[in-house]
Amino acid sequence: MIPNEYIWTGELNRRAADRGDAPQTVGLYDTTLRDGEQTVGVALDPQQKLDIARALDGLGIDRIEAGFPRVSADDTEAFRSIAADGLSAEIWGFARALPADVDALLEIGVRAAVIESPVSDGKLSAYGITREKLLARVVEATRYATDNGVKVCFFGVDGSRADFGFLERVYTEAVSAGASEIAIVDTLGAVSPEAAALMTRSARQWVGDTVPIHWHGHNDFGMATAAAIAAVRAGASWVQGTINGMGERAGNANLGEVALALEALYGISTRLRFDRLRSVSELVQTLSGYELEPWKPVTGETLFTRESGAVASQFHDPPAIEPFSSELVGAPRRIVLGKKSGLDSIRIKLADLGLERPEEDWPALLAEVKALGARKHGLVSDEEFRRLLDAR
């Protein structure tokens, strides 16, 4: 749990605190290596997947979904490597509601798996499958997996757009067939936080108090973190997501964002090592070949970087200008120079660079910095700042 001295959000959250039906601790289930790899243009090789799995393990992720072996030989190789690496996290597999998919997991020695099936009428129509045939497949695959010693979490694809009565039937029959956990799935990121809570509470009534509920949501309306929090407050004990929120379309729930919000704003514990989050984020970006926007919550490059002169004047007092400590996430704090700088920006930058100039020179130096930043339409680098000093 994050120590209170790292969080500077004020008293309002504590006054408004309502954990609802949330558990004391929420488990984090990472699907970066499967659902995250569905990001357009991302193709990770077996060694890269192993490197990411090791990083996730060090980050404190509880469960790592190592992939879907039937996708390719590379995916099978990656899964074998991860499963044999002796990680502390539970290693989970992924399968469709087909015995052949379960066999592929059994052949590698998998003992825990998500078994998925479409459940909305729209998806069933697209696949040309009737409700009854779908139910028969779910029951058969779940029973086959559990009879062979595999722990099953049933995963109802597009559940947020499914008929509620049929959704109840699918989940209850999956549990009756042996699924010991269920995942409520917002495949298209289509629900509000209130709807996520409604789905979770309803599922709790359907399957009883002893079946753990996962929330799996996407970010198409920018609501993935909020929906995950709402599901947890309604009783979900697991959140599925990815590093950096990577995934198809607008991506998945970002596990770092979800974990920070749960701990800092709601007092709900996770086991995430926040001090390692930025390095894991950078690793996944590098291996996947993409970059995040610099203002990205939690891991963005500029979260603790200040250009504004008004903010620079408060830079000595982090709680005055930041909601949580940069130390929490292992991020550097720094002042940069540009059009928006002020006199305090000059003072701090001079000190950072180990340089001295009389205070009476600062206003003219600031004017030069502002002019250069405006001409560049960007920041003034440390080297450019030194050149301005040398030219005086």
Query: Would you state the structure tokens that stand for residue 321, as one six-digit string?
Result: 């200008």
For residues 183 and 47, state if they share a domain: yes
For residues 118 and 196, state if they share a domain: yes
For residues 90 and 138, state if they share a domain: yes
In a domain, 296, yes or no: no
In a domain, 105, yes or no: yes
Residue 241: its H or E element: strand 238-241
In a domain, 299, yes or no: no
Displacement of CA 12 from its chain's centroid (Å)? 25
Cα(38)–Cα(322) distance, integer angstroms: 34
pLDDT at 14 (0 to 100): 84
Final residue belonging to a domain, choices 224, 256, 288: 288
pLDDT at 55 (0 to 100): 98
- State pLDDT tens for residues 185-223: 999 999 999 999 999 999 999 999 999 999 999 999 999
pLDDT at 114 (0 to 100): 98
Domain residue limits at 387: 305-391
- What is the three-class DSSP state of 334? strand
Final residue belonging to a domain, choices 244, 263, 288: 288
pTM for the structure as a whole: 0.95
Final residue belonging to a domain, choices 233, 254, 288: 288
For residues 212 and 313, state if they share a domain: no
DSSP-derived letter for residue 88 is S
Q: Identify the segments of the chain with pLDDT beneath 50.
A: none
In a domain, 297, yes or no: no
pLDDT at 17 (0 to 100): 76
The CATH number linked to 122 is 3.20.20.70
- State pLDDT tens for residues 222-258: 999 999 999 999 999 999 999 999 999 999 999 999 9
In a domain, 300, yes or no: no
For residues 244 and 379, state if they share a domain: no
CB 196 within 8 A of CB 231: yes
Residue 362 CA: distances (Å) to CA of 29, 251, 341, 354, 392 = 52, 46, 12, 15, 12
Query: Would you state the structure tokens that stand for residue 160, as one six-digit string?
Result: 């947020």
The letter for the amino acid at 77 is E
- What is the three-class DSSP state of 276? helix
For residues 276 and 359, state if they share a domain: no
In a domain, 18, yes or no: yes
For residues 209 and 258, state if they share a domain: yes
DSSP-derived letter for residue 335 is E
**Percent of the chain at pLDDT above 90?**
97
The letter for the amino acid at 185 is V
In a domain, 294, yes or no: no
For residues 51 and 93, state if they share a domain: yes
For residues 197 and 156, state if they share a domain: yes
Query: Would you state the structure tokens that stand for residue 228, as one six-digit string?
Result: 């995950």
In a domain, 79, yes or no: yes
For residues 34 and 133, state if they share a domain: yes
Task: Tell how many helices (H) and how many strands (E) occur in the chain.
Answer: 16, 10
> At a CB cut-off of 8 Å and minimum separation 6, what does 368 contact?
388
What's the domain count of the chain? 2
pLDDT at 189 (0 to 100): 98
For residues 14 and 146, state if they share a domain: yes
For residues 276 and 356, state if they share a domain: no
